[in-house]
């Protein structure tokens, strides 16, 4: 788990992207599925989707696209105690946003409950399932271990009639929660523990969000999942590695029932360092208010990443670049940041924003003059055009771009030093004004009129160029800067994972100033603040038209992964 993924270059042929493509290629050659390719994404609606789910969505949808097949969105809503409509809605929104087109094929496992019940009756009639009166603890303790076989339940040899009768009464609500289960009758001595008479139905007297009070018995994942795949005529049922040992059971149920039998294929789940990915842990972060909500921009959820300014294109690029593996590994979050920088570099309009302002008065610039300067919107894409920047006697620069006692190699502004203002003039710092505590609060500078960017005749050269905004036209905004959510690489591996939350994962700057062209920026718009990073207009924090910008990512990787 602590090995870092290297970037894998996908092969040129779209049909050989990974080992699953090879399996499907073979199936098409042998006509196993009569030319069909049908995949699905089967989330349980018990939380919001995270970037690991995005990997599964892109993989399953990508296969259906590349092989001209079909892709279903199916809610695995078999556990009423943890599932909610809010999660269903958010999942639909996220899957659509990622661009995975399920057309009209949106399904709910709970719609198959009647069919599943009938199939269970069929297994009972074949003598392959029985009602067991052992409680949860007893079932667990009689299951055996990896080295010891399990013990057969004393209820294992009930007659078919008795089983049919009891199962029917389980359904009609005669028994309490946990009083009885329906179990498959397989082999208590099987080397695979999953085959030691696994539970198919539990009694749970709870209302289902779609089925209401119709059911008080609910199917387990192992029983339900293969049936869902089979009913939908899925061909390739792609899941994560932890289900590898469940595959014999998936196959056993479908073989016993003689139903359409998809092939289960497992791949390694995506793990990202410096975050957690299990829905249980993400739910805890939300419920206990460690973050604002599921879509907090620090969360690895799709909705959090979207608010943070991630694009679906970057997420797709990222999940494809790390490839599909057969072995679990930890992926470095800087690879994700690489993908988003790459994408935003092409699409984000540039602008100037000063996060922590320091005022400059240009003493030799006429007092009421406002000059219009021209700035390029995106040097990577001339079609994005140019914009106008106001320049005047009073401007703001970044506090960190001035130093009274600079270290060697500091090329920005110092007392008596010169610097170029981006798209404008070269200025010289004549005097630093301090307050009572000795803090520099304002600079008096002079400008060289013949150094105007583009048209100036001067041959004067300086080493540094800094960004700025004109004081009277600048717009005051809030800016939120984010750091990693956790201070250690693999918080999930520690019981006290919450103690590794990064106390500085968000910094809120209320007095930032941006150039006036941004006053009409729209929610979700991507902008590069020159030298400060890529930002995006937040969808939630803005109040009374006040703009709030989330930093999506810095311009450079400021953090190096360990070799
Ligand atoms: P979690 O462990 O976060 O609760 P889950 O697997 O229980 O996730 P599901 O809603 O059952 O969540 O997942 C839906 C699909 O997404 C499954 O097919 C699952 O294999 C896949 N999936 C979940 N997490 C990841 C991940 N980290 N990487 C790749 N695929 C994933
Ligand atoms: Mg699951």
Region 556-562 average pLDDT: 55
In this structure, the strands spanning 426-434 and 440-447 are antiparallel
Annotated active-site residue in 17, 180, 279, 308: 279
Q: How confident is the model at residue 556 (pLDDT cuts 50, 70, 90)?
A: confident
At 314, list the tokens. Answer: 């970057």
Report the pLDDT value the prediction gives residue 15, as an integer from 0 to 100.
Answer: 61
Q: What angle do CA 227, 230, 233 make, to 5 degrees?
A: 155
CB 458 within 8 A of CB 450: yes
Residue among 1, 60, 240, 286 to mutate when testing ligand 1 (max atoms within 8 A of CB): 240
What DSSP string runs through 72-109? EEEE----TTT--HHHHHHHHHHHHHHT---TT-EEEG
Range 272-349+477-553: architecture per CATH: Orthogonal Bundle (1.10)
Domain ranges, ordered by start, for the chain: 3-267, 272-349+477-553, 353-467
Q: Is 44 a catalytic residue?
A: yes
Phi and psi at 264, nearest 5°, equal: -80, 130
Q: Give percent of the chain above pLDDT 70.
A: 96
pLDDT at 3: 43
**pLDDT tens digits for 117-164?**
999 999 999 999 999 999 999 999 999 999 999 999 999 999 999 999
300 touches ligand 1 (CB under 6 Å): no
CATH fold of 353-467, please?
Ribosomal Protein L25; Chain P (2.40.240)
Give me the sign of the Cα torsion angle 454, 456, 457, 459. Answer: negative
pLDDT for the residue 34: 96
Spatial distance between the Cα atoms of 552 and 309, rounded to a whole number of angstroms: 5
**407 CB neighbour count, 10 Å cutoff:** 6
Average pLDDT over residues 400-427: 96
* Catalytic residue of the set 151, 269, 347, 356: 269
| Whether the CB of 247 sits within 6 Å of ligand 1 | no
pLDDT reported for residue 541 = 87
210 is catalytic: no
Cα–Cα distances in angstroms (integers) from residue 419 to residues 183, 454, 461, in the given order = 78, 16, 9
Pocket lining: 171 vs ligand 1, CB cutoff 6 Å? no
- Beta bridge partner(s), residue 131: 182
- Which CATH superfamily groups domain 3-267? HUPs (3.40.50.620)
CB contact at 8 A, 326 and 503: no
Mean pLDDT score of the chain: 95
């Amino acid at each position: 788990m602590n090995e870092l993924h290297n970037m894998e270059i996908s092969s040129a042929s779209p049909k050989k992207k990974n080992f699953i493509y090879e399996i499907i290629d073979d199936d098409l050659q042998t006509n196993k599925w009569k030319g069909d390719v049908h995949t699905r994404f089967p989330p349980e609606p018990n939380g919001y989707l995270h970037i690991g789910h995005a990997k599964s969505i892109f993989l399953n949808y990508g296969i259906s696209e590349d092989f001209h097949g079909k892709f279903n969105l199916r809610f695995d809503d078999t556990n009423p105690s943890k599932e909610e409509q809010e999660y269903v809605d958010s999942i639909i929104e996220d899957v659509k946003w990622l661009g995975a087109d399920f057309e009209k094929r949106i399904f709910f496992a709970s719609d198959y409950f009647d069919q599943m019940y009938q199939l269970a009756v069929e297994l009972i009639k074949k003598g392959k399932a029985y009602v067991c009166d052992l409680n949860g603890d007893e079932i667990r303790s009689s299951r055996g271990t990896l080295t010891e076989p399990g013990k057969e339940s004393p209820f294992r040899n009930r007659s078919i009639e008795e089983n049919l009768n009891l199962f029917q009464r389980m359904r009609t609500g005669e028994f309490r929660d946990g009083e009885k289960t329906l179990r498959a009758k397989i082999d208590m001595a099987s080397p695979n523990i999953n085959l030691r008479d696994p539970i198919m139905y539990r009694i749970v007297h709870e209302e289902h969000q779609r089925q209401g009070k119709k059911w008080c018995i609910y199917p387990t994942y192992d029983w339900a999942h293969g049936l869902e795949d089979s009913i939908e005529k899925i061909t390739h049922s792609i899941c994560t590695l932890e289900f590898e040992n469940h595959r014999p059971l998936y196959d056993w149920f479908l073989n016993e029932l003689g139903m359409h039998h998809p092939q289960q294929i497992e791949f390694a789940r995506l793990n990202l360092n410096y975050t957690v990915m299990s829905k249980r842990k993400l739910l805890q972060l939300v419920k206990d208010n460690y973050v604002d909500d599921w879509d907090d921009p620090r969360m690895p959820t799709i909705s959090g990443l979207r608010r943070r300014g991630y694009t679906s294109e970057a997420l797709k690029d990222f999940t494809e670049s790390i490839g599909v593996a057969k072995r679990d590994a930890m992926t470095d979050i800087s690879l994700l940041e690489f993908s988003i920088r790459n994408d935003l570099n092409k699409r984000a309009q540039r602008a100037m924003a000063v996060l922590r302002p320091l005022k400059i008065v240009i003493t030799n610039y006429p007092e009421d003059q406002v000059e219009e300067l021209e700035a390029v919107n995106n040097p990577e894409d001339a079609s994005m055009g140019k914009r106008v920047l106001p320049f005047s006697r009073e401007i703001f620069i970044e506090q960190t771009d001035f130093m009274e006692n600079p270290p060697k190699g500091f090329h920005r502004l110092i007392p008596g030093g010169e610097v170029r203002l981006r798209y404008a003039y070269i200025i010289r710092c004549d005097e630093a004004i301090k307050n009572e505590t000795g803090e520099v609060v304002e600079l008096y500078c002079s400008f060289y009129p013949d150094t105007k960017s583009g048209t100036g005749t001067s041959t004067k050269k300086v080493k540094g160029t800094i960004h700025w905004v004109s004081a009277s036209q600048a717009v005051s905004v809030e800016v939120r800067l984010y750091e990693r959510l956790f201070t250690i690489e693999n918080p999930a591996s520690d019981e006290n994972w919450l103690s590794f939350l990064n106390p500085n994962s968000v910094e809120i700057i209320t007095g930032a100033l941006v150039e006036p062209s941004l006053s009409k920026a729209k929610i979700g718009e991507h902008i590069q603040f020159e030298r400060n990073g890529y930002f995006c207009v937040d969808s939630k924090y803005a109040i009374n038209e006040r703009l709030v910008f989330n930093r999506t990512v810095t311009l450079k990787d400021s953090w190096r992964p360990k070799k």
